[in-house]
Structure 1
Amino acid sequence: MYFAALLARTEDGWEASNTELDDVETLSDLADLARDAAPDEDTVLVLIEQEDAWFGVVRFDGEDDPRIYVSDAVAAARSSYGEMLLTDELLGRDPDEGDDLDTLDLDGTEDGEPDRGDPEDGDGDDSLPHGPVGDPAILDDLGVSEKELRSLSEDALGEIAESLGVSEVLETVR
């Protein structure tokens, strides 16, 4: 089960809303949703969690590119919401790599395509780092250090909300 919340910082403090991700298919869609919540280009945090398996924080500051932190890349890759956050840039991949049509086999697969394994057996994509990816300093200026962010566990979003002083606000949408 997923939980997603949007926290928008306003002049009056943080405002939370339960974020429905059913219509969000790309990071760009998520950016539009977040920026609609903060018309004055204030900071917006999108918090996503999947039942203690992984969590992600996406930060939007005005029109700047989003900053992303994902607690476990391999676990997140098994989820459509996680895949949305695991961009080529975040993973340090070349987005054009493997796009050469000349390497396609007759059955439509690429020659030499790596065996991605069976995620159910724990054999995920070997190109994904095991553990966190992204910007661990994403919440430093808001009171959550890199060390604290990396050490969060089961109720990561609750702990982040507590550090931001918005536990009650987050609980209203949970």
Structure 2
Amino acid sequence: MYFAALLARSDDGWEASDTDLDNVETLSDLVDLARDASLDDDTVLVFIEQEDAWFGIVRVDGEDDPRIFLSDAPLAKRSSYGSMLIDELLGRDEDGADDLDTLDLDGTEDGEPEPAEDEADTPDAAAGTVPSGPLGDTRLLEDVGVSERRLLALNGEALSEIADALGCTDVLEAVR
């Protein structure tokens, strides 16, 4: 089960809205969703969390390229949305073996078979590996009060802690 929310910066602080990821198949779709929520090309943060196992943040500042952070790349890789963000971070081609058209984007990939031990050593399996631990831009929230060190130390209630640092806990909890 995913929780996803958009936090858009405004002159009065942050405005939150929950977001439905059903129509999101690519990072471009997610960025378009964020830009639609933006007020005057201000910063928009997209929070994605899967059952306190991992969280991701996509930061969109106007027309700049999005910045991405994932708390736990191996856990996120098991998720279609996490996999989509990992592929972007690692520069993988969408037309390759990780094509999102082959994934079930509702987060229920439980029916997919695990690779046999012999297959784990093949070059194709190696292409699907991800670095252990966090992945992405660890400094994407420094200017809003969440240091790299603090971001890397977050776990289970990470999104609530980030919202607290941004001063918008009530706004985020209202959409949770």
Place the TM-score, normalised by the shorter chain, in its bin.
Answer: 0.7 to 0.9
The reply on whether 1:32 has 2:5 as its aligned counterpart is no
- Counterpart of 1:63 in 2: which secondary structure? coil
Name stretches of at least 5 consecutive residues in structure 1 with no aligned partner. Answer: 100-111, 117-124
Aligned counterpart, 2:51? 51
2:28, 2:134 → 1: CA distance? 22
1:87, 1:68 → 2: CA distance? 11
Question: Closer, same or farther in 2 for the Cα pair 1:94/1:75, shift >3 Å?
Answer: closer
- Deviations along 1:97-136, one digit per CA (max 9) or x if unpaired, are x79xxxxxxxxxxxx54336xxxxxxxx4x3001000000
Aligned counterpart, 1:159? 161
Give 1:87 deviation, angstroms: 2.7
Matches within 5 A, 1:78-117: 78-88=78-88, 90-91=89-90, 93=91, 95=93, 113-115=123-125
Q: Percent identity?
A: 63
Q: CA RMSD in A?
A: 2.2
- Deviations along 1:63-87, one digit per CA (max 9) or x if unpaired, are 0000000011111111111112113
Tell me the TM-score normalized by structure 1.
0.81
Aligned counterpart, 1:140? 142
Q: 2:52–2:155: 8 Å Cα contact kept in structure 1?
A: yes
Q: 2:10–2:39: 8 Å Cα contact kept in structure 1?
A: no
Aligned counterpart, 1:149? 151
1:165, 1:39 → 2: CA distance? 18
- Counterpart of 1:24 in 2: which secondary structure? coil
- Counterpart of 1:138 in 2: which secondary structure? coil
Amino acid at match of 1:46: V
The reply on whether 1:65 has 2:65 as its aligned counterpart is yes
Q: Aligned pair count?
A: 152
Question: Closer, same or farther in 2 for the Cα pair 1:38/1:53, shift >3 Å?
Answer: same
Aligned counterpart, 1:18? 18
- Counterpart of 2:163 in 1: which secondary structure? helix
Larger helix percent:
2
Q: 2:47–2:58: 8 Å Cα contact kept in structure 1?
A: yes
Give 1:8 deviation, angstroms: 0.1
Q: Computing the radius of gyration over CA atoms, which structure comes out larger, 1 or 2? A: 1
Name stretches of at least 5 consecutive residues in structure 2 with no aligned partner. Answer: 98-121
Amino acid at match of 1:171: E
- Counterpart of 1:65 in 2: which secondary structure? coil
